[in-house]
Chains A and B, each alone.
Chain A
Amino acid sequence: MISIAVSSQKGGVGKTTVSINLAHSFARAGVRTLLVDADPQGSVGLSLTRQSRLLAGFYDYLADPGIPLERLIVPTRLETFSLVASGQASDYEAGGGGMGAHLARVRAFLRSVAGRGFDLCLIDTAAGLFGVTGDVIASSDAIMIPQQAEPLGIRSIPKLLEGLNRLRVMNPRLTVLGVLLTMVQNDLAESTEAAGALRQLLPPEMVFQTQIPRDGLFIRASARGLPIGVLEDGAGAQVVFDSLRAEIETKLEPNSGHHAARG
């Protein structure tokens, strides 16, 4: 199994949208995929399940060693696609303790997921690189960093890189899949210029070729509690996430032997 954290320094960059639709793309391709909502705001759950506020989830697992993983897994209509909601342990919303406080439980969680037969565990984290999010990154095989294509977001890149270098000390096997440009607006000069500047700034292998456009379809999909590819006119957007999936598979295989095998 491979675990991928979807994380960013800044909030509001599209982590949840990317996580849901990328997980759906993997699952459609036959990869047994578990999407974990590690954001205390519960965005994945709020997007995909009406009863998410009633479900035990990831933060409950961290808080209570007695909760088995099986109790947390929510199946979907797609056999290869399951979810774990954020859960009820709302005290984590205040920050969830210091770095390292939950490392053992996060690692136990990932071991359980692997033992349950999943090929891929995709973890949508809260913004920032500290607290539980830091522990998730320090426990994952790989990280993907969505980054909104706008100047302010690009300016935060040095801080992001410093934070990731610190976490890499704790987790030397962490593969940095790269930065994914999101909410790109081709009709807005500032957006395309910011995207171009980021590509100039970072090594080419650190920025995904695929970029996610700003699209009203995402809002419609979220409103209906569906991945975008399930919408009747969502096929075009689904191609974008299939392309992202293919890029990730290419990055993972030669680097480390990590492979999200199809079931």
Chain B
Amino acid sequence: MDPIYPWLDPVEVRRLAERLMKPDREPAMAVADAGFGEGFVGYASEQVAAVVTQPPPPPREESPPAVQAPLPPESPNTARGPFLDRITRFRDWMRHNFSATGIFILDREGAVIFDESNHGRLHFLARSLALASRRPGASAGNVHVKIGAGATLEVIPVETAYGCLVLGAVVPDALDPPSVLAVMDALTMVASPPVES
């Protein structure tokens, strides 16, 4: 008995082999486009393909967000507190309005600038999703992925005065477009440079 051929499909093997030998059959991921620098690790296709949903970007003209104002109103002339204070208040607001936990914020290089998740894999996933959501000529949209029963990782890239920040938060259900818009506005405000009095 032939010790090899009955065990495999030569046509399929040949097809797989020829596919492998073709140089650069897919364009390399444009890491630079993501704005995360050389340290960014890209995304594993297995993680992204099955479960990601990407809602269309929320139209700015929609009715005001159903959630309450993100941060206590401040006069433009009021000096804000330190950045960390503002982020902490933002974190509390996220918890209060969206039951969010495990909140973290990454900067455009992919570095962690705030984290209460203590979970590097979530950071990796968020960076990957943020990269995957980018389209040429358009800003990144929010993306969410279910990571467990009653737990969804919401990833919201936000253009701020400090560049693109990526917010990650674990929420019970994916946020609706008005809520995403509210979160983006709030984070933009948090990341705005302090106004000198």
Point out residues on A near B: beta carbons under 8 Å: 99-101, 103-104, 107-108, 111, 151, 154-155, 157-158, 161-162, 164-166, 168-170, 172-173, 175-176, 190, 193-194, 197, 201-203, 205-206, 255-256
Contact = CB atoms under 8 A, between A and B. Distances in A.
Contacts of B43: 100
B16 A103 contact: no
B13 A158 contact: yes
A175 B28 CA distance: 13
Interface string B43-77: 11111000000000000000000000000000000
B24 A151 contact: no
B196 interface: no
Contact of B14 (A170, A175, A197, A202): A202
Nearest to B9: A158
Interface stretch (B34-42, B87-95, B160-168): B34-42
B12 A193 contact: no
Contacts of A162: 16
B19 A256 contact: no
Nearest to A162: B16
A170 B44 contact: yes
A154 B42 contact: no
Interface of B: 3-5, 7-10, 12-14, 16-21, 23-29, 38-47, 121, 124
A197 B5 contact: yes
Given A154-B4, A158-B9, A194-B4, A168 B25 contact: yes
A100 B5 contact: no
A169 B26 CA distance: 8
A158 B8 contact: yes
Contacts of B41: 100, 103-104, 107
A54 B44 CA distance: 34
B7 A155 contact: yes
A108 B28 CA distance: 18
A155 B4 CA distance: 6
B47 A203 contact: no
Contacts of B9: 158
Contacts of B29: 172
A118 to B, nearest CB: 19
B39 A100 contact: no
Nearest to B15: A161
Nearest to B3: A151
Given A100-B47, A104-B39, A170-B44, A202 B13 contact: yes
A154 to B, nearest CB: 5
Contacts of A173: 24, 28
B62 to A, nearest CB: 36
B44 A99 contact: yes
Nearest to A193: B3
Please provide the 3 A-B residue pairs with the shortest distance between their CB atoms, ordered closest to farther: A161-B16, A151-B3, A103-B41
Nearest to B12: A158
A7 to B, nearest CB: 13
Contacts of A103: 41-42
A201 B14 contact: yes
A158 B9 CA distance: 8
A255 B14 contact: no
Given A100-B124, A201-B8, 5 more contacts: A99-B46, A101-B121, A172-B26, A194-B4, A201-B13
Contact of A158 (B16, B38, B47): B16
Given A103-B42, A170-B42, A176 B21 contact: yes
